[in-house]
Structure 1
Amino acid sequence: MKKQLQTTTKRLQTQYKLDVLGIGDKYQRQNFKKWKEIKNDWENGKQYFSTCHIRIHVQPHITQSGSTLPK
């Protein structure tokens, strides 16, 4: 699961250069002053989104275990 997320995220950064995950929105809420300085270069210009390091932490939660096949 983690590898798939890493691959998808890297593709969004390098191939599409689009922040469809909303990482910029989260950064804006946490670092508003800095965001005001870089917002125009997030996806365009200096493209901070394409070059930022994104750490992925997967914490699966299993709500039900067992077989889904009929008995």
Structure 2
Amino acid sequence: MNKQLQMTTKRLQTQYKLDVIGIGDTYQRQNFKKWKEIENDWENGKQYFSTCHIRIHVQPQITQSGSTLPK
């Protein structure tokens, strides 16, 4: 799962250059002052989204277990 997310994120950064997963939104909420300085260059201009380092850490959690039906 982690590898698939890394590959997808890298493709979004290099091929499409679009933040469709909302990383900029998260950054805006956590660092509003800095975001106001870079928001116009996030996907355009200096394209910070395409060049930023994104670290992915997956922690799957099973909340309910299911059962299979007999054949």
TM-score by length of 2: 0.89
Deviation at 1:62, TM superposition (A): 1.9
Alpha-carbon distance in 2 for matches of 1:31, 1:64: 35
- Aligned pairs, how many? 71
TM-score by length of 1: 0.89
5+ long unaligned stretches in structure 2:
none
5+ long unaligned stretches in structure 1:
none
> Structure 1 vs Structure 2: percent identity of aligned residues?
92
- Runs of 4+ more than 6 Å apart: none
Deviations 1:15-66 (A, max 9, x none): 0000011000010111111101100000000000000000000001123457
